[in-house]
Structure 1
Amino acid sequence: MNATTTVDPAVDPALVDAVDVARAALLEEVPADQVGEHLTSYVEQEGALTHVFASTHPGYVGWEWAVTIAGGDGRITVDEVVLLPGGSAIVAPPWVPYKERLQPGDLSPGDLLPVDDDDPRLVPTYLVGEETGEVDRAQIKGVAADLGLGRVRTLSVEGLDLAAQRWHDGDGGPEAPIAKSAPESCWSCGFLVRLSGSLSEMFGVCANGNANDDGRVVTYDHGCGAHSEVKLARKQQPAPVPEHAFDSFSVDLETF
Structure 2
Amino acid sequence: MADVTRTATRAPKVDQACAEAVDIARGAITEEAGHIGEHLNVVAEGDRVVTHYFACDLPGYRGWQWAVTVTRAPRSKHVTVCETVLLPGGDALLAPGWVPWHERLHPGDLGVGDLLPTPEDDDRLTPGYMLGGDPEVDEVAWELGLGRPRVLSPLGREEAAQRWYDGENGPDAPISLAAPRTARCVSCAFYVKLGGSLGRMFGACANVYAPDDGRIVSLDHGCGGHSEVLIDETVIPAPPTIYDDSIVDEVE
**TM-score after normalising by structure 2:** 0.67
Other structure's SS at 1:14 match: coil
Highest CA radius of gyration, 1 or 2? Answer: 2
Q: Contact between 2:18 and 2:72, CA under 8 Å: does it hold in 1?
A: no
The residue number in structure 1 matching 2:121 is 118
Q: Which has the higher helix share?
A: 1
Match of 1:35 in 2: 37
Structure 2 residue aligned with 1:86: 89
Q: Output the CA distance in 2 between the equivalents of 1:64 and 1:211.
A: 58
- Runs (5+) with no aligned partner, structure 2: 1-7, 131-136, 239-252
Change (3 A) 1:173 1:11: same
The count of aligned residue pairs is 216
Q: Distance in 1 between matches of 2:90 and 2:142?
A: 53
Residue 161 of structure 1 aligns with an amino acid whose one-letter code is: E
Displacement of 1:9 after TM fit? 6.8
What's the CA shift for 1:68? Answer: 4.7
Paired with 1:120 and 1:48, the residues of 2 have a C-alpha distance of 53
Amino acid at match of 1:150: G
- Residue in 1 that maps onto 2:57: 56
Question: Alignment partner of 2:14: what SS?
Answer: helix
Of residues 148-157 and 19-28 in structure 1, the stretch that sits farther from structure 2 once superposed is: 19-28
Question: What is the match of residue 140 of structure 2?
Answer: 145
For 1:163 and 1:92, the matched residues in 2 are separated by 33
Distance 1:37 1:106, change over 3 A: same
C-alpha separation in 1, matches of 2:140 and 2:210 = 34
What is aligned with 1:107? 111
Task: Note the C-alpha offset of 1:218.
Answer: 0.9
Q: 1:60 to 1:93 in 2, by over 3 A?
A: same
AA aligned to 1:220 is L
C-alpha displacement of 1:54: 2.1
- Alpha-carbon offset, residue 85 of structure 1: 2.5
- Give the share of equivalent positions with the same residue, in percent: 42
**Structure 1: 5+ residue runs without aligned partners?**
1-7, 128-141, 243-256
